[in-house]
Chains A and B, each alone.
Chain A
């Protein structure tokens, strides 16, 4: 995954029904960009069968020290 460009953000915001101007799109790109960078090593690597509910199962699994 790569961080979206201001131009892409403008298009996505329009689709969401919350249009933004160039300045706001650039600000958003700079603000959320590091989160994309941080998650880049995980994105696109997850196993096919992995469900979000796995979290609840792991959470309630007792782990002995």
Chain B
């Protein structure tokens, strides 16, 4: 254990260390706060820092533990989450001006389940306005910076989650993934991110963007940590009728399983086209590691992914605009220009086209499952490039920004349209030192298998353990 700086431990390690009273919750919380103080001016990852409340909660957790009272497996572990998870009595900005002072009156189910397991609130994390953007820019609260290169984007919309987990300011963070918003920050910031199957984790109390596509999931340092969090959050919720019930696998146990005999598919097209040479190199190296662990790697031919991307864009645009219509009428000037532009895109989409994209979703998923019936999971890059600079992806200030952004989301949106789970894991670095992640795409509700493969990969590599240093 890192006794001198417990913030450097993984979530699983620190939870165990607190439970065994090898370290106190106060020491852990103070360690996180020290790093937040050091990094926040560089990263702008936090929306709110609640140091005094966090330390008081840590003291209470230590006192309870001294009496033999543990609240759960995350007793006394300090965490911060994307500022779109309602927490009763707390301001939840959703990264917006419109909700700058909005106080939640209920608590998101996913967040409550983590609280019930004993977590402590460190504050809240920055995000793209209303979670509607893939880069990490925010006109109201400033861009979040990538700890591996301050001039580079974190990816969005869970920008603060990616940045803060990478810099070891929080052990894990909730993000949300509607078009890639967990996997892109995980890829750009060098952390592990789990986009769950639509219906796996309750969305009650999470700010909505698209009711067909929204998913709640964690960004953490390891697949093992993601498994721990998913096990706590998953399952039926009367507050969210779209959330699927039934028995759940032991996700943590899955991470201990070997992958010998599993088959991983590499797409023959689309996900391997037009890759930056660094990303192509990392894909090849990742494939070699999986083979080395006993997995069989084969080529897989997927249906036309461009159609899935297009369908995702149509569903997302219409559903987001429907949520926002009242504010688009009453407060258009309170949106940042990028988000207002994206919301306005829905005005061009006839209802018939929107409903066609929803009707096609079943056959499209069936076609994907048929195409991947010979493999356990698909391995693909999260994006064709590593993190672009904040300047080159700033819509309105860079003439190429739209093209840069379109390229970023190419590989994530098909997964959202199909509602599939995908795990983004750090798999290497570019020659200039920026992280590169790969996504493992699985079958519906088979997150356990992705976590199994991710954990096996992380047992024999150390990309997830690399920690950026302040410059």
Contact = CB atoms under 8 A, between A and B. Distances in A.
A40 to B, nearest CB: 8
Contact of A17 (B310, B329, B374): B329
Place the interface of chain A in its size category: 35 or more
Interface string B310-325: 1101100100000001
Contacts, number: 123
A52 B358 contact: yes
B110 interface: no
A28 B353 CA distance: 16
Place the interface of chain B in its size category: 35 or more
Nearest to A33: B348
B349 A39 contact: no
B347 A50 contact: no
Interface string B226-256: 0000000000000000001000000000000
Contacts of A20: 344, 347
Nearest to B340: A24
Interface in A1-47: 1, 3-4, 8-9, 12-13, 16-18, 20, 24, 27-29, 31-32, 34-39, 41-44, 46
B366 A9 contact: no
B77 to A, nearest CB: 33
B325 A32 contact: no
Nearest to A54: B362
Q: Which 9 A-B pairs have the closest CB atoms?
A: A38-B310, A54-B362, A35-B313, A55-B361, A55-B362, A52-B358, A39-B310, A13-B347, A32-B345
Given A32-B317, A63-B443, 9 more contacts: A4-B350, A35-B310, A43-B353, A52-B361, A58-B363, A58-B366, A65-B263, A65-B373, A65-B374
